[in-house]
Amino acid sequence: MQVQQNVSLKQYNTFGIDVTAQSFASFSSLDELEALTEYKQELSSINKISPLLILGGGSNLLFTKNVDGLVLKNELKGIELVNEDADYCYVKASAGEAWHTFVEHCIANNYAGLENLSLIPGNVGASPMQNIGAYGVEIKDVFHELQAYNINEKTIVKFSNAECKFGYRESIFKNEVKGQYIILNVTYRLRKNPLFNTSYGAINTELERMGAKELTIQNISQAVINIRTNKLPNPKEIGNAGSFLKNPQVSKFRWHVIWEEYPDVAAYKVDDLHYKLAAGWLIEKCGWKGFRRGDAGCHAKQALVLVNYGGASGQEILDLSDEIIKSVKNKFGVDLEREVNII
């Protein structure tokens, strides 16, 4: 176990924000994790370090200041088929596996259900925390269970689908038990016989452009990869965390007020009383798409993505998001919430 002091976290977050961790270490086994959490508690008892931050792929957070505490990088690895029945394969992946690597593994083995979630940045451990989703599919649709380490009790606990309390980019790990558990692995229930989901219009269009002669999970995955590559900036080239703000749900009345003035409003009906609006459309209508101030900006191809062109601070990006949220509220009477975690 090696704990380093005053370590830059620039390479560990996809925004590329250069902040410093007071203490930093990585773990690739349960024994190392237990030793590090014990180390953290010993230091806390003498008031040297109290906060604990677990880092995965660093793809859904924004650092606005240095981290005065212990940062642990989750590097648990491993993918295995743990069970199967007539219809499903149950595949377990360790939390430190890169998400897209795991998706590629499943597609190569004809495990269906994750193809629409191709090329999402980050690690497996973050997938249930955020209930990640894209192109008509969310983690809750394929999630079976996970194992997590209770930091205070030093026990391993299983969480079922229901116990995770999944919501739109939400779970129990972002709310009631935030900071109490470290996710070790996640098991997904994937289909042997796929149920294709191409309801998102761009997928069908891309499949046609590709000249795909049959519908397969491999073709859908490639279509999603093509769409994301064309529309979203590569974090290795331009710092970003993907979608920065959530698509808001509004009342039917609010949707109708907006629709009367903007018949092209990007929205879909949730139920008889609610509609979900495309946050990117709202932001673009407020004139932010392609906006840049210094090195903080709003991406030119997707207004939902805030970017760091190289030297922006986390606070500058956060301030920009505040301005965007206020402008959408003033213009449309709609409240936007951040999807990215602010540190």
Would you please indicate which residues are annotated as catalytic (active-site) residues? Answer: 169, 243, 339
User: What are the C-alpha distances in Å from 211 to residues 99, 134, 217?
Assistant: 27, 23, 15
b/e per residue 234-271 (b: at least 16 CB within 10 A): ebeebbbbbbbbbbbbbeeebbeebeeeeeebebeeee
What are the tokens at 248? 């808001």
Number of H helices, E strands in the chain: 8, 20
Q: What's the number of CA atoms in the CB half-sphere (13 Å) around residue 5?
A: 2
CA 100, CA 98: separation in Å to the nearest integer? 6
Is residue 120 within 8 A of residue 242, CB to CB? The reply is yes
CA 173, CA 128: separation in Å to the nearest integer? 8
